[in-house]
Chains A and B, each alone.
Chain A
Amino acid sequence: MTHTLAAPLAAYLLAGGMLFLVVHWIRRVLWKPASKSGGYGSGTPSASPRAFDMVQRLFHWASTLTLILIVFSGLALFSPAFFGPLSETIGFPIHSNILLLVDLHVASVVALGSLLALHIGWDFYRLRTWRLISNGRKDLAELLSRARGFLSGGAVEWSEKYDVFMKSFHIMLIMLFLGLGFTGLVIYFIAPWWLYPQLLHSAIEPWWMPTPIHDVLGFSFLVLAVAHTYFASMGTNRPILKAMITGQVPPTSVIKRTTKLENLQTETQPSQ
């Protein structure tokens, strides 16, 4: 018994999240697509197209890069024996590079922390868009409407710049980063298992087991990150993805929005 989260539990957590996304894809792409053209079924045309300024885009892609480094180094540290054979084929044996991987993991986290500070500062002093990203009562109504639409085969409702899922994604990211940051700090300063022989890892682990908690939060983040990438790459959201690259939504895209609560509560029309 090692001091980390049991690998099968992590695998089931990851597989569960992925299976939900597979079901979503079958539902939205094969069974009853939201829209053939990649647009949404109901709502009114957007008055203000989505736009991301240079700082937002720089933050997004730089943090994506750091998160990729964090995830890959984290997976290698979580299960070096499992990824060992694969890493040896590319000439990077994990077991003899544990310290390098820890340094890479920590350096990427520090870089991400700096980017998050930039993001918060930019939003606080310049954009002031916190309200757009915080969940409210009408988001709950939107969530119910979207869930009903998903289950009944209806069209996708669209609301403001950020819909209920984007807002929830943002909130969950904040919570996960706080949890991962705290447990990561404890592991780094109080229970640095990589400095001890494997047989003593359980002995240096604090009673509240920050390492398995860090693992659970890490795999939850991985599910969230894959879901974010999947939804961003879907046909319906591709204009937003383009906006995250170019800054502006292409004028030909058919993104629509509904701003009023009553519109969210109207019955959704079948898209086909």
Chain B
Amino acid sequence: MSNRIMKRNSCPMGIATVFVLFLVLMAPLSASASSSVQPDHLQTLSSANIYFTVLNGRNSLLYNITMMLPSSLAPVGFYSGSGRWVHTLTHEGNSFRVTWFGGPVEPNQTVVFGIAVIVPADTGIYNSTVVENYRENLTQSSSLELTIYCPCLLGIDVRSLSYSLVVVVLALPLVEIGLRSLHVPRDREKQAVR
């Protein structure tokens, strides 16, 4: 009897344990995923707008947000979605540091920050970090990936390919003249033989 009770009790206990474990495991993940970036794929040699969405997942106001961008992504414009924000831009080693002051972001509220960048010609995956600085020296950081890709066809940038094709097409009549100039002496030779 007691075994049966134990068995019956163990089932809800097990579920609760798994649930608690799940929460414990997910807690750091959700904390690290409090910021997101859109779009996370950028085209080489283009002007792009990157939008960072920052969620205040804590119970205190958020006044200060720092973003680290790879030095190849030079910021050329800034935008903040809600609140009153002031930004500073500094170049530190291999990255750009953009710091936003103001807001504030209320608990469980989000704010969108936009950064206009000039995307370089080099492809690859670059890391960007968003650090939320709360009161009492509490910080929370999110690591975000930005992929720079080439719009390529058979390994060639389609934009370069199309403009090269324009040059080729405009050169074709010149090739035609060259081919004709080769044909004419041959025709004359044939006539001379006859």
A residues near B (Cβ < 8 Å) are 1-2, 7-8, 10-12, 14-15, 18-19, 21-22, 25, 29-30, 36, 79-82, 84-85, 95, 197-200, 222, 226, 229-230, 233-235
The interface size bin for chain B is 35 or more
A82, B118: Cα distance in complex, Å: 10
Chain B residue with Cβ nearest A222? B166
A85 contacts B45, C-beta separation under 8 Å = yes
Interface string of B162-194 (1 = CB under 8 A from A): 110110111011111101100100000000000
Query: Is residue B151 contacting chain A, with contact meaning CB distance below 8 A?
Result: yes
Partner pick for B176 among A81, A229, A235, CB 8 A cutoff: A235
A18 contacts B166, C-beta separation under 8 Å = yes
Count A-B pairs with CB separation below 8 Å.
106
What are the 4 tightest A-B residue pairs by CB atom distance, in nearest-first order?
A: A233-B173, A18-B165, A199-B79, A14-B162
A70, B22: Cα distance in complex, Å: 62
A79 contacts B159, C-beta separation under 8 Å = yes
Partner pick for A82 among B39, B159, B166, B177, CB 8 A cutoff: B159
A229, B79: Cα distance in complex, Å: 45
B116 contacts A21, C-beta separation under 8 Å = no
**A-chain residues with CB within 8 Å of residue B116 when the two chains form the complex:** 197-199
B39 contacts A15, C-beta separation under 8 Å = no
With A2-B48, A22-B169, A199-B79 as known contacts, state yes or no: A12 contacts B180, CB within 8 Å: no
B169 contacts A199, C-beta separation under 8 Å = no
**A-chain residues with CB within 8 Å of residue B45 when the two chains form the complex:** 79, 81-82, 84-85
Chain A residue with Cβ nearest B151? A8
Query: Is residue B43 contacting chain A, with contact meaning CB distance below 8 A?
Result: yes
A261, B94: Cα distance in complex, Å: 72
Closest chain-A Cβ to B118's Cβ sits at a distance in Å of 5
B159 contacts A198, C-beta separation under 8 Å = no
With A8-B158, A230-B173 as known contacts, state yes or no: A81 contacts B46, CB within 8 Å: yes
A29, B166: Cα distance in complex, Å: 18
A7 contacts B169, C-beta separation under 8 Å = no
A198 contacts B172, C-beta separation under 8 Å = no
Partner pick for B159 among A11, A95, A226, CB 8 A cutoff: A11
Chain B residue with Cβ nearest A202? B49
A190, B1: Cα distance in complex, Å: 82
- 17 A-B residue pairs with Cβ-Cβ distance under 8 Å, sorted by A, are A7-B151, A10-B159, A14-B166, A18-B169, A21-B172, A22-B165, A25-B172, A29-B172, A29-B179, A82-B159, A84-B118, A198-B49, A199-B49, A200-B79, A233-B170, A233-B173, A233-B174
